[in-house]
Amino acid sequence: MGEVKAELVTRSKRPGMDCTLDIYHEKTVGFSKNINDHSTYKLVLVDEGSFVVEEDGKYRVVVAPAGIAMNEKAEFKVVSESGIKTRTIFFKPSVLREEFTIEAINSGLFEKFLSAVKSTDELSYDERFVKAVFEDTKFEECFSSKMVYQDALLLLDFIRPDRNIIYYSLMRQVYDSLRGMVVSVAYDIEQQPDNFWILRARHFLSSILFMSVADFYRPYRQCEVYKDPLVARVARYFWENISEEITLESVLKKYSVNKNILNDAFNKELDMSCMSYLEHLRMSVAKADLQYFDDPISEVSVNCGYSDTNYFSKVFKKHTGMTPSEYRKNMKDLC
């Protein structure tokens, strides 16, 4: 995606501060030309737009607001994009601690630490990581103090053995909070208003990394990977227009495709028809809105593409066995 910049670092402009910081920020229309740099980790905040990426012959649809975590091995392959605006923070893990160089991480120096995380039990990767940090003696042998490998926990999404890129869908409040911290990093490294700019930039970067570890990135929106590019394109259209009226006829016209071909593609990939999948997506948005926000049911209905609140409630009960009000109360009682 273009020629990669020689060094993605920030040099001090302050008098008497002859130093560099391994953090760099770019605000771009589209994705940064340095997105596939192999010397840094990347945190990307997608402010606007949508895109489709290819992953091992499959396709992932992502719609803003979203976040992306990429390590130095990642190959980001955009198949299509629309209206993308991003903010990217490039950094080296050694910004957190001197021990955490990319070379050291990849050299096997922390192999005991990684093997502790690669447990074969039934826990998820994230659960295994936390269990290793606080309970596993094999993990404890890797570092001299608990604080060191609690700091290592912040790198969870960059050192997974099975993935080089992690995508997050962001709730409104989380996006606003994350955007504020990214802007703060950008301000400090670009303006360097005083001699504490480096400390603040590192603090805000650590806070951003902590958000994902603490499970504030709730993937309540699109998370599917599609094999069929037609299904991926239509799914992206659904997410971009989830609150708008969408008919089967409008989809067929937009993509110049036969009804049977379209439904066959969706049934083969997702075991449901095209419009049934749209209903499924709308219900996932509705459940998240009801669980995390206090908007009126009528507003949730419109946000999900239903102008008739009564019809929305009927469809919602078909999927969940509860009315929207009952679902919201049930979720709040669980919390």
Identity of residue 201: A
- pLDDT (tens digit per residue) in 233-250: 999 899 889 999 999 999
Mean pLDDT of the chain: 85
Is it true that domain 10-94+157-213 has CATH number 2.60.120.280?
A: yes
- State residue 4's pLDDT score: 47
Query: Which pTM was predicted?
Result: 0.74
Q: What residue ranges do the domains of the chain occupy?
A: 10-94+157-213, 101-150, 227-334
Which range is most confident: 41-50, 61-70, 134-143, 220-229? Answer: 41-50
- pLDDT (tens digit per residue) in 65-116: 899 999 999 999 999 899 999 999 999 999 998 888 998 888 866 655 555 5
CB contact at 8 A, 225 and 55: yes
Domain 10-94+157-213 identical in fold to domain 227-334: no
Burial class (CB in 10 A: 0-12, 13-18, 19+), 245: exposed
**CB neighbour list of residue 168: distance below 8 Å, 6 or more residues apart:** 66, 67, 68, 69, 212, 217, 219
306 vs 5, which has greater pLDDT? 306
Identity of residue 73: K
Q: How confident is the model at residue 55 (pLDDT cuts 50, 70, 90)?
A: confident
- State residue 285's pLDDT score: 87
φ, ψ at 163 (rounded to 5°): -145, 140
Q: How confident is the model at residue 145 (pLDDT cuts 50, 70, 90)?
A: low
Residue 155 has pLDDT above 90, yes or no: no
Task: Give the pLDDT mean for 48-65.
Answer: 89
The superfamily CATH assigns to domain 227-334 is Homeodomain-like (1.10.10.60)
CB contact at 8 A, 113 and 143: yes
